[in-house]
Amino acid sequence: MKRITAIVRPEKLEPLKEALFAADVSGMTITQVMGCGHQHGWSEYYRGTEVLLNMIPKVKFELVVPGSETDRLVNLICETASTGEVGDGKIFISPVEEVVRIRTRERGDAAV
């Protein structure tokens, strides 16, 4: 099993969520987060003083999927979330050692 963590633009939340459900993803966790990368934020003025706002709102999708589905879903995320501009986000893929469903105590793929 793999955990796919995708950090994307906030305006991609609904299109990406719909695309993942259409691709038969059984569940996901979505979190509103703040971050910075190569775009380094922007400047605004607050009470006459310039302030650098380097934390930009993003949306984090977390999925745990069978390893065989990883490439397909990563491609789907890239196609759906890409604008071609700096700040489109990142995808992190990591192994998942075990999954346990709390209610039934099922383990492994059955718990996903």
Nearest CA among 45, 39, 50, 49 for reference residue 7: 39
Q: What is the model's pTM?
A: 0.85
Nearest CA among 95, 106, 82 for reference residue 5: 95
User: What is the rounded CA–CA span in Å between residue 86 and residue 65?
Assistant: 28
Across 42-78, b (16+ Cβ under 10 Å) vs e yields eeeeeeeeeeeeeebebbbbebbbeeebbeebbebbe
User: What is the rounded CA–CA span in Å between residue 28 and residue 22?
Assistant: 13
User: What is the rounded CA–CA span in Å between residue 49 and residue 86?
Assistant: 27
Domain ranges of the chain: 2-111
| CATH assignment, 2-111 | 3.30.70.120
pLDDT tens track for 9-66: 999 999 999 999 999 998 999 999 988 776 666 677 778 887 777 778 899 999 999 9
pLDDT tens track for 57-108: 899 999 999 999 999 999 999 999 999 998 899 999 999 999 999 999 999 8
